[in-house]
Amino acid sequence: MKNFILTGSCFLILMAGLNTGCRKKALDKFYNPPSNLSQPIYQQLAARGNFKSLLALIDKAGYKTTLGDAGYWTFFAPTDSAFQVYFSNSGHPNIASIDSATAKAIVQYLLIFNGATESDLTNYQSNAGNVPNLGFKRRTAYYRGFYNDTSYNGTPYLAVASNRNNTGGTVPYLSTDNNNKYITYFTDVYFGTHNLSAYDYNYFYPGSSYTGFNIMEARVLEKDINAQNGVIHIIDKVLTPIQSIDEYLRNKPQYSEFRKLLEKYMVQFISNLSATTKYNLVTGLNNQVYVKVYSSFIPFSPNNENFLRIEDNDAQKDGWSIFVPTNAALDNYINTVLLQHYPSLDSLPSQVIADLLGSHMWPTTLWPSKFTTTYNALGEPAKLAPATDIIDPKILSNGIFYGTNKVQDANNFSTVYGKAYLDPKYSIMTMLLNMDLKGTVTNSNLKFTVFMISDSAIHAAGYNYNLNTNAWSYTTPAGVTSTGDANRTNLLRILSTGVVLTPNGELNSLVLPGITNTYAGECLVYANNMVRSVGNVDSGTFVHITGSAPASNGMVYYTDGIFNFSQANIGIHIQKLGTPTTSEFNYFWQYLNNSMIYAPTTGLIAGVQPGSFYTVFAPNKAAILAAVNAGYLPGTGTAPNMVPNFAPTDAAGQNLVTNFILNHIVSSTIIPDGLSNGGFQTLLKDANGNNIIVNVNSAPQFLSILDDHNRVANVIYAQSYNLSNRCVIQLIDNYLQY
């Protein structure tokens, strides 16, 4: 019995053991990786046999566990052959000569987050999901962290890079963001989508061949190797961490003048508690840490590795680009362009320096083949030639760097706008241009003539601007001062009267008599280097030309005054022209003066809207007589010897006068300049309520008008320089029939 009990106990123990073993096998089968699952990255590289140097580097870096266990990575794996080339060129003859920090940096830079095949790499991982064909960079596991920097004046700082752009708010630094560096890759899919080619690759890596899938200057020898913890791409070069734009500039003395501009005028080192606390915890040291912050006046922070960071991964699809001229090129430009009227850089307005820097900065990726179609922060394409003007092209961790032997000549400086912008004597003119016309006169595709108005001329005319109160004032000749925005509006009108669009260059000389239309829609007349607007005609004054200067999109004339406008209505100027009985305008004036549509006390003509632009085509005496004898104006006597009846009392006669006058006023300023061509509306309407159209044909010093009865009237040019309030009054040799 005892033996049975013992035997039964043994049986129960045996069965319990069998059950436990079965359960363990079941659990192992469920939880252990399948036998056919690929090995982790580290083990696969070890099994291949030609990655001994890389594996030794991984071991030294302390990443054996990371790459040999769980996780999800993409690893760019250089072969032993690649390391032999690296040992020959790097100053490290073998793995033993590489310290653990350098080993860690190399391994981390070859390691990117999440497993990605070649096709995965071309996706942009947006917040809404993958977007195909936009990706050409990925965030690596490597980041620079704390470092030693020096300000422009030699002050040393324990620093950390800003990891956001400066938008003018809080310090652009998040202690939770390590500002990881990115690695760039080049694929046929991305190149095809963006109309790029091998040229865009070999421009940066002339010693490497483009294969359709390259990681920086390395060729991918074998791609898309699945591993238990990610994906392996085998490459033929050892890739080491590359510098940011900020770091590259810091170590290139040939660009020190450009860096000095950035560091002196656009950088602050700002102490940061969270960065300091993090440093103290990591190192056990007590040093103060400063964030290197670039000004919000420039388009981006050259030390920010994260692009815009509007979305977490937007640096996968874009980055910064920058032109940096050599010291000699930059110094020459500063001295010959920026400092023509200033003694030093310190005396320049800060915005000028910001514009100089901004004109060299692209807030996007500027590929070599896209120089003429990719625009910088000032909205301009690259003006430098990739083949001759770029001496140092580099793909960097946060963008593209182009060392240049020329300066990007910004439109703000090279165009007619720059003549005011870079001269302190024209600060008010610059301010006014910025409010209204800057975008127009900086257009390098248009041609302009601009009449310069100095601060002293503006003050002499009674206008002033108070910077402290932001108030515009005007003092009349009688000493009465008014303050208000109307004074600014008047100055803007004066300014635009001095801006002339000149596609044919017809204002290259102001010696011979002429007339021109201005951007304001009003006209200027000139002769013997003296120019007048209608306000100058009213006051009997002239604006004298004291000099000139060419610009990239035209030229400027320096003057000793301003172009005043007129407060008088058009009828007042017709009265001055037509009152003398000997004047060829006399008959037209007499009909207007006695018409139902004219108000003699104000000079207003019914149908003429204040603020609008007009041309009055006044027939000369002979043409008026012809109109009278043809029955288009009231007269007395018998044709063909009728004489004008300037003051008809009958309705029919009064209507004739009204219709005749309105048919000779056109809703636009038209002058004989070769630009005023086509159909224009008169103020007269037909029976259907539509404005009568006349057709104009103009050339320099010639203008003809064709009415709808095929009658031609020619402007008598010598007597047609007559300016009025947003109007020009011209004498013609025929009348216009309706």
Band (pLDDT 50/70/90 cuts) for residue 34 is low
Output Rg (C-alpha) for the chain, integer angstroms.
39
pLDDT of res. 25: 54
pLDDT at 559 over 50: yes
3-state secondary structure of 304: coil
3-state secondary structure of 133: coil
How large is the average pLDDT for residues 133-137? 98
pLDDT at 363 over 60: yes
67 close to 41: Cβ distance less than 8 angstroms: yes
Return the closest-CA partner of residue 465 out of 457, 474, 477.
474
pLDDT at 36 over 80: no
3-state secondary structure of 587: helix
Band (pLDDT 50/70/90 cuts) for residue 701 is confident
3-state secondary structure of 679: strand
Dist. CA 613–CA 681, nearest whole Å: 12
Dist. CA 45–CA 79, nearest whole Å: 9
String of DSSP letters for 425-472 = GGHHHHHHHHHHTHHHHT-TTS-EEEEE--HHHHHHTTEEEETTTTEE
How large is the average pLDDT for residues 385-390? 98
pLDDT at 413 over 50: yes
pLDDT in tens, 597-637: 999 999 999 999 988 999 999 999 999 999 999 999 999 99
pLDDT at 737 over 70: yes
Band (pLDDT 50/70/90 cuts) for residue 693 is very high
pLDDT of res. 667: 95
470 close to 484: Cβ distance less than 8 angstroms: no
String of DSSP letters for 481-549 = EEESHHHHHHHHHHHHHTEEE-TT-TTS--SS-EEEE-TTS-EEEEETTEEE-HHHHHHT--EEEEEEE
CATH superfamily of 41-141+182-235: FAS1 domain (2.30.180.10)
Band (pLDDT 50/70/90 cuts) for residue 104 is very high
**CATH number corresponding to 570-732:** 2.30.180.10
Lowest average pLDDT, out of 24-38, 64-78, 97-111, goes to 24-38
3-state secondary structure of 213: strand
pLDDT in tens, 436-474: 999 999 999 999 999 999 999 999 999 999 999 999 999
Share of the chain above pLDDT 70, in %: 95
| Cis amide linkage into residue 640, ω under 30° from 0 | yes
Same fold, 425-559 and 570-732: yes
The chain-wide mean pLDDT, for the chain, equals: 94
Torsion sign across C-alpha atoms 556, 558, 562, 568: negative
CATH superfamily of 147-178+243-412: FAS1 domain (2.30.180.10)
Band (pLDDT 50/70/90 cuts) for residue 539 is very high
How large is the average pLDDT for residues 186-194? 98
Return the closest-CA partner of residue 315 out of 300, 325, 330.
300
Domains in the chain: boundaries: 41-141+182-235, 147-178+243-412, 425-559, 570-732
Dist. CA 446–CA 359, nearest whole Å: 20
3-state secondary structure of 608: coil
Select the CATH number that applies to the domain covering 425-559 from these four: 3.30.470.30, 3.90.1150.10, 3.90.800.10, 2.30.180.10. Answer: 2.30.180.10
How large is the average pLDDT for residues 186-203? 98
